[in-house]
Amino acid sequence: MTHTNLNDRADSLPTASEFGRVLVLMGGRSAEREVSLNSGQAVVKALQKAAVDYVVVDPKDGIEEMVSTAFDRAFIALHGRGGEDGTIQGTLELMNRPYTGSGVLASALAMDKLRSKRLWQSLGLATPKYCSLNSASDWQQVMDEMQGPVMVKPSHEGSSIGMCRADNPVELEQAWSKASQYDSDVFAEQWIDGNEYTVAILSGQALPVIGLETQRAFYDYDAKYIANDTRYLLPSGLSNEQEMAAQQLASKAFSSLGCDGWGRADLMTSGDGQMWLLEVNTVPGMTDHSLVPMAAAAAGFDFNELVLRILATTLSEQSGQSGVQQSDV
């Protein structure tokens, strides 16, 4: 990961002409299509304010329009499969066009929650224990092994889509059935009874930690995009020492996957103060409910500047977009 002090760059953002023509990719065909459209529209408004030339493409019907469009660099606002899993990144690599966010391998790996967890475990980074599920699973045995409630997750979805808590074998089978509608890879994760936090990362620097509070069982889709009673804590409520530990853990998780440019790591703390990695998002939401813009505001720059900072990463050499990155872990 290339580390840059964001404060040093405050007065040195590129001019609109330096960006050339920007392709904004939004929409797509994933279960997060609506969120992506909202993110893309917000990015477009920021580019308009900055007088940056842009063109919008929604690749829901394929890549033909993107391939036939003239552009200098791409701002990827696609969430979920087809936009966050390395496929669109691979196409842009073949077109020799720089793009925002992580490269092909890192995008694919971060999109796969199960394999991310396996990598973190191999590196000694704390992540809740898990068990893969399928139609032949012994539901009672899984609950016994996990020793308590579990969170059931599709491995390749974002925005908490398809996720559900299970407290007993019957609920576990029902949760698996729901999650398997979105993904053939489904797993049960140890339920962590504690507080949830998120850490945005931009140009190698961790932004202020955000604490999340919701009246729901967990920070689900409604809590993220619809509800008005979700609480976002800035400051996070952590001590200075804990905040630094959260930022360091998030940065290690991010770099261990080979991620680059910008993104967000989600984690939880249990009652004993232990921090647990949940997942890394390589194309986080950019809506009015989104977390990275909140963290950016706490760091001292508004949404429009955030968009330009993210886009500016495409002007410099992106080691994560040309091969496998050396881990900082």
Q: Given 145, 172, 190, which residue is the final one in a domain? A: 190
**Which CATH number is 38's domain given?**
3.40.50.20
Q: How far is CA 16 from CA 20, 205, 277, 286, in A?
A: 7, 24, 38, 20
Q: Are residues 96 and 11 in the same domain?
A: yes
Q: Is 225 a catalytic residue?
A: yes
45 falls within a domain? yes
Structural domains of the chain, count:
2
For 281-318, what is each residue's pLDDT tens digit?
A: 999 999 877 899 999 999 999 999 999 999 999 997 54
Q: Given 169, 190, 211, which residue is the final one in a domain? A: 190
Task: State how far the Cα of 64 lies from the Cα of 61, in Å rounded to an integer.
Answer: 8
Q: Are residues 40 and 83 in the same domain?
A: yes
249 falls within a domain? no
Q: Are residues 10 and 93 in the same domain?
A: yes
**Exactly one of 84, 112, 157, 266 is catalytic; which is it?**
266
Segments forming the whole domain that contains residue 159: 129-190
Q: How far is CA 311 from CA 79, 88, 161, 285, in A?
A: 17, 17, 28, 15
Q: How far is CA 236 from CA 165, 195, 267, in A?
A: 25, 10, 13
Q: Is 266 a catalytic residue?
A: yes
**Exactly one of 225, 236, 258, 320 is catalytic; which is it?**
225
Q: Is 145 a catalytic residue?
A: no
Q: Is 32 a catalytic residue?
A: yes
Question: Any residues with CB less than 8 A from the CB of 316 and at least 6 apart, and which?
Answer: 2
Q: What's the 3-state SS for 117-152?
A: HHHHHHCCCCCCCEEEECCCCCHHHHHHHHCCCEEE
139 falls within a domain? yes
56 falls within a domain? yes
**Exactly one of 203, 251, 281, 290 is catalytic; which is it?**
281
Q: Are residues 39 and 79 in the same domain?
A: yes
155 falls within a domain? yes
288 falls within a domain? no
Q: Comparing 80 with 69, which gets the higher pLDDT?
A: 69
Task: State how far the Cα of 28 lies from the Cα of 33, in Å rounded to an integer.
Answer: 6
Q: Is the pLDDT assigned to residue 222 strictly greater than 60?
A: no
**Which CATH number is 186's domain given?**
3.30.1490.20
Q: Is 9 a catalytic residue?
A: no
What is this structure's pTM?
0.85
State which amino acid sits at residue 51. Answer: A
Q: Are residues 37 and 81 in the same domain?
A: yes
Q: Quote the pLDDT of residue 319.
A: 38
Task: State how far the Cα of 293 lies from the Cα of 306, in Å rounded to an integer.
Answer: 7
Per the CB < 8 A criterion, the answer to whether 201 and 254 are in contact is yes
Q: Is 116 a catalytic residue?
A: no
Using 50, 70 and 90 to split pLDDT, how confident is the model at 184?
confident
For 101-148, what is each residue's pLDDT tens digit?
A: 999 999 999 999 999 999 999 999 999 999 999 999 999 999 999 988
Q: Are residues 11 and 86 in the same domain?
A: yes
Q: Comparing 222 with 65, which gets the higher pLDDT?
A: 65
Residue linked to tokens 């977390």: 291
Q: Given 190, 209, 237, which residue is the final one in a domain? A: 190
Q: Are residues 49 and 95 in the same domain?
A: yes
**Exactly one of 30, 159, 255, 290 is catalytic; which is it?**
159
**Exactly one of 83, 86, 261, 285 is catalytic; which is it?**
285
| 241, burial (CB in 10 Å: exposed 0-12, middle 13-18, buried 19+) | exposed
143 falls within a domain? yes
Q: Are residues 30 and 86 in the same domain?
A: yes
Task: State how far the Cα of 116 lies from the Cα of 103, in Å rounded to an integer.
Answer: 15
30 falls within a domain? yes
pLDDT over 70, % of the chain: 87
Angle at 276 between CA 270 and CA 277, to 5 degrees: 150
Q: What is the mean pLDDT of the chain?
A: 88
Q: Are residues 86 and 136 in the same domain?
A: no
**Exactly one of 279, 290, 309, 320 is catalytic; which is it?**
279
